[in-house]
Amino acid sequence: MTISIKSTIFICLFSSIINTAYTQQSIPQKVDALLKKMTLAEKIGQLNQYNGDWEATGPITTDVGNKLDAIKRGEVGSILNIVGVQHTKVFQEAAMQSRLKIPLLFGQDVIHGYGVTFPIPLAEAASWDMAAIEKSARIAATEAASGGVHWTFAPMVDIARDPRWGRVMEGAGEDPYLGSLIATARVHGFQGMGLGNLDAVMACAKHFTAYGAAIGGRDYNSVDMSLRTLWEIYLPPFKAAADAGVGTFMNSFNDLNGIPATANRYLQHDILKEKWGFKGFVVSDWGSMGEMINHGYVKDNYEAAEAAINAGNDMDMESRSYINNLAKLVADKKVSVKVIDEAVGRILTKKYELGLFSDPYRFSDADREKRVLNAPEHVEAAKDIASKSIVLLKNEHQLLPLSKTLNSIALIGPLVKSKKEMKGFWALNVGDEKEIVSLFEGMQQAAGKTKLLYAKGCDITDTSRAGFAEAYKIAMQADVVIMAMGERPDMTGEAKSRSDIHLPGVQEELIKEVMASGKPVVVLLMAGRPMVFNWTADHVPAILYTWWLGNQAGNAMADVLYGDYNPAAKLPITFPRTEGQIPIYYNHFNTGRPARNDNDVNYTSAYIDLPNSPKYAFGYGLSYTTFKYSNLRFSKKSMLKKETITISFDLQNTGKYPGEEVAQFYLRDMVSQPIRPVKELKGFQKVMLQPGETKTITFIIDKEKLAFYNDQLERITQPGEFRLMIGSASDDIRLQDSFELTD
């Protein structure tokens, strides 16, 4: 046997042994081995994220020249705002020309859909349907991953109690319990069976933290709150996301009690990485690192980079602070290589988990992209959750559902024929806008022989009344009028705070004009936030809050209008009577002078010019049928901490339509130090009941449901009386009784 054959066999054997050894190496071992090969400059490059060329989702900081060249030099670890197999492949090919061929991470705001747009997250939250919410994220991930995206900057899990804040549309509303369940559902949806699967994208819990508590509801504004409020209200959804295995966190633009989140070590290191044991990585939010100069927290990007990396911020989105300053900070001994290695290690770990080192192009399959995008089952799922997100606010004289034997329906309003608007904010332009179903198109498909009349009536914000006469005229010709009113989709979202959240323009005057026709009127309200519309609420017989429902908006609205789907959604956020009531939320403290009712203003905590109660309460939503709650029973009326109490009650459908009810469980700790809210959501069940059908619903009380944080931030319980309240809304309690915690 010649030497050449022997040496070939030896090389094959040796390389297969090496390969086997490598593949059998654990990810931590691979990360350590790679770190040892990397120069400091290459390590810093992994901490640097640039915006792609697709579009900017924030103010462009400074030009960095040719990004592909920077990638080839190993100066970039991730690119955001880039979609599509073809486009991402070009950037990945550049990364494969770098010395160590470390693959790029492609990140994108896949917030509520990718090709098929789903309802905005706040709308989906109104469904209280965790399976549907998870499925929505699952489909978004499947489509995004087919388009070359590795990482979505979602779910946004910020608790929001202020509807002036435009980003209320992006989260799950005001409640920590509901918000935590939804955070879990969305992380599971996006990450599916785990990173590395070709239909999974890495999720990102954002914005860490308390961004939704911006003073005045003004985006990016300061946040000032007690640590107990932080732990009780704003952290739970983030903890739920971490427990659900979310791959990354994104910090937030706001300062929290004077420390910008991007440099907040208490949040990013003490809580997230140490107490919660989070192993993923933290990315800053669009330039937030550099914005600490504006905050007045640092004097330049050099100090910003130092503060951020030492606080636990791993990746720098778009501020260029790390790429331009970390090497000098290491030379100046302001930042240790150990800290940099820790950050780089977290990022490389995720790239290994996504399988990008074994095949950097594994998400770049053009055939899969074509096969997966806008698949029929995705469209069907979008319609399903859209129907489940529509809240029935009012339905006097059972005006709804509509009969299919009506002669004519007048469709009036600026949003009747709108299509792209149905996507709302944070929607991508990947899908074909022709696929979006407007209300008009949905009604055309559902109305059968009923004649549809149309008039726009007015614009969304314009003050012209020129279209009123035409609207009144066609209303007079119709059996029923359906009005599609609301905001523009760009009136709620990032940097879209409104000081006045009334229905914009002259829309409410148009509603009055049409009501003067004497015809039955149904108003559909489309917005990304709670709006104020008191005259409409008080005078129009039927009102549906439809948010922004995405691609299948028109079909979902038609299904609900005709009763093909009986609405069951419940508000995930309180609707104020006016801006003057804000902040207003259901889980408030009682105060020393609680108003006993809306008229009790005699030395009570009340307004003398407005009832204290909201226009619509958290958890409120009607059905075409009715439900009876009865027969509340407890397994026992006192418990030790180590025990539980099982409560049961009967829920009956007392109407004539099959329907779902979201039965809500609230608890109140009657005497505690510190004090506790007048009620807190601790459970719910969404139950389908046929007409006349009764089901027994149970709910188990354990000590975790009774626990709270004391001023030392210890999670404790205190013995004493608790009140259980079961209801159809936070202000519609049907059954209640007390029980005792005895130790």
By annotation, the residues acting in catalysis are 285
Q: How far is the CB of 494 from ligand GLC (least distance, A)?
A: 6
Shortest Cβ 50–ligand GLC spacing (Å): 12
Q: With binding defined as CB under 6 A, does residue 58 bind ligand GLC?
A: yes
- Based on the shown chain and the rule CB under 6 A, indicate whether residue 57 belongs to the binding site for ligand GLC: yes
Could you say which of 91, 118, 128, 153 contacts ligand GLC (CB under 6 A)?
153
Q: Which is nearer to ligand GLC, 286 or 575 (CB)?
A: 286
Rounded-to-integer distance, Cα 230 and Cα 223, Å: 10
Contacts of 485 (CB under 8 A, 6+ apart): 413, 414, 415, 503, 507, 510, 511, 523, 524, 525, 526, 536
The label of the residue with tokens 């427990």 reads 243
- 454/428 Cα distance (integer angstroms): 30
Distant-in-sequence, close-in-space partners of 254: CB < 8 Å, separation ≥ 6: 207, 210, 211, 213, 214, 220, 221, 222, 223, 260, 261
Residue 421 is a binding residue for ligand GLC (CB under 6 A): no
Q: Kind of pairing, strands 645-653 and 627-634?
A: antiparallel
- Relative to beta strand 255-256, strand 248-251 is unpaired
Q: Is 158 in the site for ligand GLC (CB under 6 A)?
A: no
75, 46 contact by CB (below 8 A) = no
Query: Taking the complex as a whole, how short is the minimal distance between the CB of residue 289 and ligand GLC, in angstroms?
Result: 12
In the bound complex, what is the minimum distance in angstroms from residue 317's beta carbon to ligand GLC?
7
Q: Is 234 in the site for ligand GLC (CB under 6 A)?
A: no
Work out whether 352 is an interface residue with ligand GLC (CB under 6 A). no
E strand segments, 537-637: 542-545, 627-634
Return the number of the residue (206 or 239) whose C-beta is nearest ligand GLC: 206
Considering only 188, 206, 383, 570, the residue that binds ligand GLC (CB under 6 A) is 206
Q: Does residue 472 belong to the site contacting ligand GLC (CB under 6 A)?
A: no
Please, what is the minimum distance in Å from the beta carbon of residue 136 to ligand GLC? 18
Any contact of residue 297 with ligand GLC (CB under 6 A)?
no
Distances (CA, A) of 399 to 396, 523, 540, 541, 563: 6, 12, 11, 7, 11
Q: Note whether 124 and 112 are within 8 A (CB).
A: yes
Q: How many residues in the shown chain lie near ligand GLC by CB under 6 A?
A: 9
Using CB under 6 A as the criterion, what x/- string covers residues 78-97 for binding ligand GLC? --x-----------------
Site string for ligand GLC, 481-500 (x = CB under 6 A): -------------x------
Is the Cβ of residue 286 or residue 547 nearer to ligand GLC in the bound state? 286
Supply the DSSP symbol for 607: -
Nearest of 610, 652, 647 to residue 627 by alpha carbon: 652
Among 42, 109, 291, 660, binds ligand GLC (CB under 6 A): 109
Tokens of 29: 């071992």
Taking CB under 6 A as the rule, does residue 291 contact ligand GLC?
no
Minimum CB distance to ligand GLC, residue 58 (Å): 4
Q: Give the nearer residue to ligand GLC in terms of CB position, either 286 or 627.
A: 286
CB of 59 to ligand GLC, least distance (A): 9
State phi, psi for 269 to the nearest 5 degrees: -105, -60
Contacts of 147 (CB under 8 A, 6+ apart): 83, 84, 85, 88, 114, 115, 369, 373, 430
Binding ligand GLC (rule: CB under 6 A), the pick from 129, 174, 232, 285 is 285
CA 722 – CA 667 distance, rounded (Å): 7
316 binds ligand GLC (CB under 6 A): no
Toward ligand GLC, which CB reaches closer, 150 or 570?
150
Binding residues (CB under 6 A) for ligand GLC: these are 57-58, 80, 109, 153, 206, 285-286, 494
